[in-house]
Amino acid sequence: MTARADNDRRPTDVTSSRFRDYLALTKPGIVRMCLLMTAGGLWLAPERASVGVWIAALVGSSLAVASANAFNMVAEREGDRKMRRTRNRPLAAGRLGVASSTAFAAALGVAAMVVLGLGTNLLTAGLAAFALLSYWLIYTPLKRRTPLALVIGAVPGAVPPLLGWTAVTGSLDLPGAVLFGILLVWQMPHFLAISIFRKQDYADAGILCVPVVRGEVVAKVQAIAWAALLIPVSLALTPLGVTSELYLVIALVAGAVFLGFAIKGLSVRDGKAELRWARQLFAVSLAYLPVLTGALVVDLLWFSRGVTQGVGL
C-alpha cells in the first residue's frame, strides 16, 4: 500500500476513532442496562403508553444516563490514569480534552431534559435531572472520601425504572417506588462484588470502597445482607397487585440463587478462589435483572395486571 493511499484513509480513521472515544464516554454497557430497567417501568405501569411516550422515555433516559457517565469520566480522569482497567479511557489516555468532553456531556444532559420534558412530563424530566446531578456532583467526589458513597450512588442509579413508571403515570406511586427499591438494593451486592476483585485498582486510584477501607470479610457480610433484603423488596410487587404468583415464584428463586452465591463467599478465603467467587457473584448479579424483567414481561402477558390504582406516595 502506498503512502498516498495510507494518507487517504486517515481522515476516515480519525473520525471513526473519535466517534468511538465519545461513545466510550457514555459507558454504553451501563446505558443498555438502564435502558432495560426504564423499559421495565414503562411495561409495568398500569396505563398503556403511546409509542411516542415509549420512544421519548427510552431515548431521554438513555441520554441522561450517558450524560451522567460522561460527566463522571471527566471528573475521574486523574484517578482513571492510575487504574489498569481505566487507564486507556479517552480522557485518561489524553485522546479527548476536558473542555470538549464536558461540552459533550452537557449537550447530552440538555437533550435528555428536552426529550423527557416535551415527550413525557416534567416529573420525569425532574427525576432524570436529579439523578444526573446527584451522580455527578455528590456521588463522584464522595468516592474518594467515604465508602458510604456506594449507598449514595445507588440512589441516582436506581432512578431509571422510576422514569419509565412516571413517564406513563405522571405520578409517584408505591409500585414505582418498589421498582426503584429493587434496583437500589440490587446495586449493593453487584458493586461490592466488583470492588472485591478490583480492590487493588480502587486502592491505587484512591477510591474508598468497602474492601479497601474495611476489608473483604465486611464486604462479603454486606453483600449477603443486601442480597437477603432484595428478596422481600422484589416480592413486594405481588402483594400490591401488580404481578401474579408466577412472578413471585421466579423472583423468589432468582433472589435465593443470588443470596446463595453471596453466602458462598464466607467460606472462601484463598486469594485466587476469592477473586473467582467475586467474579461469579458479579456474573450472577448481571443475570438477575434480565431474569426479573423477563418474569415481569411474561407475567403481565399471560395474566391480568390487576394493578392497584391510586396508591400514592
Cβ atoms within 10 Å of 255's Cβ, excluding its own: 23
With bands split at pLDDT 50, 70 and 90, how would you rate the model's confidence at 299? confident
Structural domains in the chain plus CATH codes: 14-171 (1.10.357.140), 173-313 (1.20.120)
| Residue type present at position 243 | T
With bands split at pLDDT 50, 70 and 90, how would you rate the model's confidence at 304? low
The cell for 216 is 473483604
The predicted model gives 139-143 an average pLDDT of 89
- Using CA atoms, how far apart are residues 105 and 90, in angstroms rounded to an integer? 14
pLDDT, residue 205, reads: 82
Cβ(275)–Cβ(134) below 8 Å: no
With bands split at pLDDT 50, 70 and 90, how would you rate the model's confidence at 4? very low
pLDDT above 80 (res 191): yes
Per residue in 84-109, pLDDT (tens digit) is 888 889 998 889 999 999 999 999 99
The predicted model gives 304-313 an average pLDDT of 41
Please give the model's pTM, rounded to 2 decimal places: 0.85
DSSP 136: I
Which of these ranges, 6-15, 17-26, 175-184, 298-307, has the smallest mean pLDDT? 6-15
pLDDT, residue 305, reads: 47
**% the chain with pLDDT above 70:** 92
Query: 3-state class of 143 per DSSP?
Result: coil
DSSP 265: G
The predicted model gives 160-175 an average pLDDT of 92
Per residue in 214-255, pLDDT (tens digit) is 999 999 999 999 999 999 999 999 998 888 899 999 999 999
